[in-house]
Chain A
Amino acid sequence: MERKVITMLDDFFVRAVLAGSMLALVAGPLGCFVVWRRMAYFGDTIAHAALLGVALALLFNLNITAGVFAVAVLVSLLLIVVQRRAGLSSDALLGILSHSTLAVGLVIVSFLTWVRVDLVGFLFGDILAVSKEDLLIIAIGGALILAVLGWFWRPMLAATLSVELAEAEGQRPELMRVILMVLLALVIAIAMKLVGILLITSLLVIPAASARRLSASPEQMALIAALFGVVAVWGGMAMSLNFDTPSGPSIVVGALILFLITLIVPANLFGRDVADGGLPHD
């Protein structure tokens, strides 16, 4: 049995589906916070900064995932510090950082004539090239993210709802925000290889947004988002296999189709009437 599982992992398609599913399970709950806190643009910025991480890692011959994670964390912390001082709206700051980190990354990569850089792979991902080692990194990173998220779930939610309230009742909402940013940096670092820098945020945002209308509580929304993410990965991979479409974008298209379906399905199918925000019919 064990041998059978291991030989299954020799199949690149199985590895791809497994990696994608694990990522989706993590991205769903984390993506809920991105949606609740309106951090979609922030996620995009960190993802773009990932290319700078790739460039620096190649330049100094470091592990790429580690390089991406380090740069992503640095940029998030930089944002927090600059936000307090610059007197600019965070929207403008994100606009500056998002595109300048991407541009600087691209410029550095263009100097690296001695390494062959698969730029398209970094930008759009190459889930079919996932190795067993990558799988292990995704499994460990994903488990770590879920563990931290589960452990801090309640204070993180309280911090999302009201910093003031959480503070007054003895919690540390600022710390929760930093933890959330580090988790985002981590998920981006492990997701880059699968769906690429330009599509990562969609895996965070779209399943969570799709789950909203069908959920009656934050916890339910996190679970449904994780489930939707997995379905999107399977659908996208099936599409990729049958029509020979690029897998990263196909997964995002899968997520989009799911989202569109949730718009059509009447929300009270699940016992809730969202139109008047009313009572569940139980």
Chain B
Amino acid sequence: MKYDAIILGAGLSGLAAGIRLACFDKKVCIVEKHVEIGGLNSFYQMKDRWFDVGLHAMTNYSPKGVRSSPLGKLLKQLRFKHEDFQLCQQKESEISFPGVSLRFSNDFELFRQEISEKFPNQIDGFDQLTQRIRDHDDLSLKSGFLSSRSVLAEYLTEPKLAEMLFCPLMFYGNPQADDMDFTQFTIMFKAIFLEGFAKPLGGMRHILKLMVDKYKSYGGELRLGRAVKSLNLSSEEVNSVTLSKGEELQAETVISSIGYAETMRLCAPEKFPEDSLQDGEISFVESQYVLNVQPSEIGYDKSIVFFNTKDEFSYRKPKEMVDLASGIVCCANNFDYPKEQEGLIRFTFLANPDLWFGLSRTEYKEAKSYWQKKTLEAVVGFLPDFRDSVVFLDTFTPKTIKKFTGHANGAVYGSPVKIRDGKTPVKNLFICGTDQGFLGIIGATLSGVTVANIYGLKASY
């Protein structure tokens, strides 16, 4: 038996691609290395609590009825209703730099007001930049790099404002160090400032369950705990996929969400030169603190804070194991939930994957607890001290990310080189997900939809 499509990876993009193909009666099988679904954006259970990983919040919030937005497109393509996602909007977030902070919410006007108050001579440039972003075709499947730093310099004369804009946009979706591709910048600017944050009630677990149920309802097959050992090529086509236990599946088309370099390295017998495969190196450490109080009770009411304690914002692999100078604090409770949730604060810092991978087991444990303490100290520097209220704590590192995403270096946003049209040198092998270049939860999902439509359903748009 031959599948119409085999999809590698049961994360958001793989599941979305699977739903599209299965919906139109294609014979589809998703193979997932882990026994849990989700990949980068997933969930886990510990001591009877469910935690999200990857997701701080969903970006790209748009209200019910808006169908042309990324969220609207995704809902209709996957045949979900807006209320299925149970989205709870953020209250208010902030970008915090030395001496100045900018508040923002799902109402873009607040952010604009903040900029006009704090950078009065920049607001005209900012408005023009916003217009350029609105007009930019970020769904284009053409590749090519345009430096966001150089574009921003055309509109903003105050470098600090540019740094403040970069901070959340890079943290939430930049696979490369220091600069950012302008199309990527545009995607993230729209996703975060023009649209905004929301969290699904029930977390990633809820979203992923919706997707898996829908995929299975269309007859899609899902194999968990099956790593792919090789993609077997002959005359520039992939004919079959060999799974870790030796099983071989035939396929017309293969769509891989596991990363471009990671995919090409599985091809056999042909090898693709390593210098054509570029791994990312932007990775993070993150801790989740469960509290026995509501953060608002101890005076903390922000949804997400992107902070930077130095004048310049440095977004690159740090020299030390963790870069304490900047980070993200996400407080799950400060979203508009219909009922109170247990107190939860999460914070995230840039980390150096090489240094984490080089450790022995004992050293790793020690480093984890050392940096747990250090990051906590850095955060209570500007958050109310919540240390007496902690009832549970868990931390993940680049090593954890690598284990669960399979991304080389634990690079959260994958390779700095994106393959926008999803094509590879192999005729019937396509890339979706992180390395196709639409990042974030909505982006990843739309990526799966787009790649499935074009290469699986042969849409011509």
Do chains A and B interact in one complex?
A: no
Binding site for B on A (CB under 8 A): none
